[in-house]
Chain A
Amino acid sequence: MAIKTKKRVTMKDFSTPSESLAEFDPEETIDLPAPYDKIEELPGYKQMKEGTRDRLEASLDDTIAVGIPKPESKEEEEKLVEAFLRGLHNLFSKENNWTFLQPLTLSMEHCARCQTCVDDCPIYEASGKEEIYRPTFRAEVLRRLYYKYEKGGNKLFKKFQQGDIDANWTMISRLLELSYRCTLCRRCAQSCPIGVDNGLITHELRKIFSMEMGLAPKELHEKGTVQQLEVGSSTGMNKVAVMDNVEFIDEDMTDRSGIKVETKWDVEGADVLLIHNAGEFLAWPENPGCFALLLDAAGISWTLSSDLVGYDGVNYGLFYDDAQLARVAMKHLDIAKKLKVKKIVMGECGHEHKALGVIADRIFSGSIPRESAMTLMEDIVFNSNLEFDPERNDFPVTLHDPCNMARSMGIVEPQRRVLRKLAPQFREMTPHGVRNYCCGGGSGFAIMSGNNFTDWRVQVSGRKKFKQILDAFSDVDPGPETKKYVCAPCSNCKGQIRDLFEYYGATEKSGLYYGGLVELIVNSMKLLKEPFIDWEMM
């Protein structure tokens, strides 16, 4: 790693207008192994288009995730500042933040500023320790605002003890962008000796912007949860479109596997209501196809739902807006109740797991159990009559742990037991399990690609993961002839890994491919005459 002292950015700088507080410099990022060590051979960092800076707020780091239009007048600017301070107030009131007020307040008041957590942040490390990406930097901004505006006590004393901050539009617009430079992976929270959660702080900041000011990335809000609630899916697929696609997938799977695949819709009283991330149907159709084949072969009574929202397990509200989260979760609950299913099984989607399995627990209040597809698959592989031939998976395989499944929920062993049994060349990344690194596309980043944000997430937030993937295969032939499989049981992670491989040319240079877990299971099923995985189609 290039060692260069980074420019220190103070809280005062953060509120002071300037062109930018940080810029991407490939020389300062962590090194990647060959052949990715030659910066000049990579596509570079896309600069913002001409005129963008005049239209949109972009004074954080020459990168745009949200892209808020610049206020047109001083009055508009003042209104936005007022709205932010009102939102700040609501965030710290019990009536308006019943979900997370307690852990938020604890995180505000108890951080000892020891900075233990900063070494655990893959973004801070990969960027070459860019000051503004330090997990405690963002938290410090909110903490100062909290002490200045919300916490009672002597004003002068608070200013002296906690430090001051100027709540102007420059600061607020930067803070909005900065709340989208953290993937909410919560690795920092895990390393904090007293349990301060800087990931939660980022999440709460996003809530002020979305719930109080109507400011959120359009991919998450307008094209995300809003579209999902209106049309049925964040992909824009209505009922007719999803059923048409699934019919096509069934036919395609039947052709490829030689086994009749027929997806079931709206079966009342089924044991399992399977809810996939709907992105799978469009981008990785073999994933839902393999689930259909596997569940039928194992004799499981299952169904999909064609109801509005029932065929899309995504819940982007988890990333930025509690109200949207609750609206989507309510739909999932109503549909499961209406179909009288015994349980919901959450497909290969990390944030669906956390939204439905953990956060929506209070909404579900014991009515419909939710199970992870990981344990269901483990159960099928170990306890059904199906026979498997692991030799069909005899290529190097590594496993990516989605943060929401592994760190947030502790789902670590089931997917490994399956791989240890069915993938003879399975190898772990270092570190893995609850200590994993985020793919770099967490908290919705994988679907955000406006302006130059894709460049940021493949070169900064996903850099550590890409290095980890390369290191996991360092003992095998590095060339493209040896095909290597990154098993990532999460749609969001897959989207990010696809973009990483595309940017670095990793499939052509290193033979890197990616896919889910169910595909490896079906690939080794003896019921199929031949292996199912077709590298040409991946």
Chain B
Amino acid sequence: MPTFEHGEFKVEVDEDGFITDPEIWNEELATALATTEGVDEMTEEHWKLVNYLRNYYMQFGIAPMVRKLCKETGFPLKKVYEMFPSGPAKGACKVAGLPKPTGCV
């Protein structure tokens, strides 16, 4: 497995840079992962989105549907892309430490 190294971190990730063990996630790691997604600074809005994803994942074991994410955080999809240029699934979920989405999605 490839590893992601940044500062003090050295963690196992999959081929697309998603951490393989969601349990090891913490805010410092999120900030480090964000740098791979072109996010230099995690603003309050970034955290709002990441925390929403995180809480949803803790409850349901998967990432939420994009429509729901937009409705419940109040961020239009365009705004999500502005915050995380690779989008909600590939960008925001990666920073929030969720596994890569699976199935026909």
Interface residues of A (CB under 8 A from B): 49, 51-52, 55, 67, 219, 223-224, 227-228, 231, 233-238, 240-241, 244-245, 248, 252, 277-283, 285, 312, 314, 349, 446-447, 449-451, 491-492, 495, 537
Contact = CB atoms under 8 A, between A and B. Distances in A.
A283 B65 contact: yes
Interface of B: 2, 14-16, 60-63, 65-68, 71, 99, 101-105
Given A240-B60, A450-B16, A233 B103 contact: yes
A-B interface, 10 closest residue pairs, ranked by CB to CB distance from nearest: A279-B104, A235-B103, A234-B103, A223-B102, A241-B60, A236-B62, A283-B105, A450-B15, A491-B104, A279-B105
Contacts, number: 87
B65 A495 contact: no
A379 B66 CA distance: 33
B104 A277 contact: yes
The winner among B2, B60, B103 for most chain A CB atoms within 10 A is B103
Nearest to B76: A536
Given A241-B60, A281-B65, A314 B104 contact: yes
Interface of A is mostly: helix
Contacts of A451: 15
Nearest to A351: B104
B104 A283 contact: yes
Given A248-B68, A451-B15, A279 B103 contact: yes
Nearest to A227: B102
B102 A219 contact: yes
A281 B2 CA distance: 32
A450 B104 contact: no
A278 B62 CA distance: 13
20 contacts: A228-B103, A231-B61, A233-B103, A234-B104, A235-B103, A235-B105, A237-B60, A241-B60, A244-B60, A248-B68, A248-B71, A277-B104, A281-B65, A283-B65, A283-B105, A285-B65, A285-B67, A450-B14, A451-B15, A491-B104
A112 B25 CA distance: 58
B15 A67 contact: yes
The winner among B61, B66, B104 for most chain A CB atoms within 10 A is B104
Contacts of B16: 449-450
Contacts of A349: 104
B67 A252 contact: yes
B92 to A, nearest CB: 15
Contact of B61 (A67, A224, A236): A236
Contacts of A234: 102-104
Contacts of B102: 219, 223-224, 227, 234-236, 447
A52 B65 CA distance: 32
A279 B66 CA distance: 12
Contacts of A51: 2
B2 A282 contact: no
B80 to A, nearest CB: 13
Contacts of A447: 102-105
Nearest to A281: B65
A223 to B, nearest CB: 4
Contacts of B104: 234-235, 277-280, 283, 314, 349, 446-447, 491-492, 495
A184 to B, nearest CB: 16
Given A283-B105, A492-B104, A245 B68 contact: yes
A138 B66 CA distance: 40
B60 A235 contact: no
Given A237-B62, A238-B60, A224 B103 contact: yes
Contacts of A235: 62, 101-105
A233 B104 CA distance: 10
Nearest to B72: A248
B62 A241 contact: yes
B20 to A, nearest CB: 12
Nearest to A50: B2
Contacts of A537: 67
Nearest to A236: B62
Nearest to B15: A450
A237 B65 CA distance: 11
B65 to A, nearest CB: 5
Contacts of A219: 102
